[in-house]
Structure 1
């Protein structure tokens, strides 16, 4: 059984390695998933139940403003939310970055507004779109939380097969370029106190392991497009 788990994990990491070849260089504080150290962290992580369903449904954002829709599609599929109707698939299709915008979701955030100034989605809009798909959602601004609470929440969600956690953070605060970004989390390693971000802009950066404190600080930054509130994290489940 252990050997099978190792083989499955190695295969999943290999899927990410193709995208890693052309990505931007990482700062010294980040560990790429496809590096030997990154793979070791995944295999030894204490909380990684979300990694496999998310990696199976991994979605690369369609354009620079679509990190939110890519993350939403990825998580809806990982949660096995009932698929949208389709003439081609008889209702058994997958969510993508277009059909996530049901009438209820569009009432929260129209797709067209994402690619126009101020671009992208805020933390509250992200949570609102998930709620529009009849999921249980908890939106937490970093200013209303703290590192320990975030870490405990992340570990709890990452150990639960039916719950996922997503983060909205400022890239430059973790040593990347440059603005706000949204992606799901895939695993947590206790020994290094690092969290795996499954970055949906894999044409730009690979999935990376970042220290929990660094990620929390990157979330605890003001989002000018969200009435001056801080960024933060969203827990999603049935």
Structure 2
């Protein structure tokens, strides 16, 4: 056995141990979860772990997994996702108080976020794809909002893979759960990895009391995004490509 092959095996073993430790941390048994449909694969399963270790586009997983939170109520999926992203990108949080230097689902609200969408409205009905993109941009981050109806599976796949292959780049999806065989509601959560062999994305569902992180087929996810959101003037749902503030490089 060559030194190169030994080194690769050791690296794979270390990565596997690190992944198992983080996967256990990000998937606590908060409550009895709902059953998964056959088209979704639990990250913690043997198959799910194998796909993760084989995936190459997974730069987003590490910073997001260390900031993974559970949405505090049924309408805060976008808020929880935003808090994760801000912390993963090391955006300075309000000093002192709740959160202690990190963003939480409480301290991220301010006059600038209220100018995009009021907290009371989010509490009442959640947020739309465009509102989420506006909130991201209000923190000085790059936010490219794309409605699925104005995109395609190929365009989404290529854009998402490029983002997930780079440090300090993220992808957030807004989709209809029912299209994936889940409870019927619109939802927002971040993607963390892509496995080319199976053409699946790893979705970190912030409703962790309902569902674990899952691998979802790219085509199924796109179809779930290409659904009408009546609360967003009849537009389709879609995705947001997110990057650091302008002038800041991709390396963390």
Q: Which residue of 1 aligns with 2:44?
A: 34
Q: Distance in 1 between matches of 2:15 and 2:129?
A: 34
* Structure 1 residues 193 and 21: CA distance shift in structure 2, 3 A: farther
Asked if the contact 1:13/1:39 (under 8 Å) is kept, the reply is no
Asked if the contact 1:20/1:206 (under 8 Å) is kept, the reply is no
Q: How does 1:172-211 map to 2 (within 5 A)?
A: 172-211=178-217
Q: How does 1:197-236 map to 2 (within 5 A)?
A: 197-236=203-242
Q: Once superposed, what is the RMSD of the aligned Cα atoms?
A: 1.4
TM-score, with normalisation over the residues of structure 1? 0.95
For residue 63 of structure 1, report the CA deviation from its aligned partner. 0.3
Q: How does 1:22-171 map to 2 (within 5 A)?
A: 22-86=32-96, 93-116=101-124, 119-171=125-177
Count the aligned residue pairs.
234
* Structure 1 residues 58 and 32: CA distance shift in structure 2, 3 A: same
TM-score, with normalisation over the residues of structure 2? 0.90
Q: Structure 1: which 5+ residue stretches go unaligned?
A: none
SS in 2 for 1:5: helix
| Residue deviations 1:39-86 (CA, integer Å, cap 9, x gap) | 111111121010011000001000010000000000000011112121
Q: Distance in 2 between matches of 1:11 and 1:31?
A: 19
Q: Distance in 2 between matches of 1:62 and 1:17?
A: 16
* Structure 1 residues 120 and 21: CA distance shift in structure 2, 3 A: closer
| Residue deviations 1:147-206 (CA, integer Å, cap 9, x gap) | 000001110111111110000000010111111000000100000000011000000011
Q: Distance in 2 between matches of 1:130 and 1:218?
A: 22
* Structure 1 residues 88 and 37: CA distance shift in structure 2, 3 A: closer
Q: Which residue of 2 aligns with 1:8?
A: 18
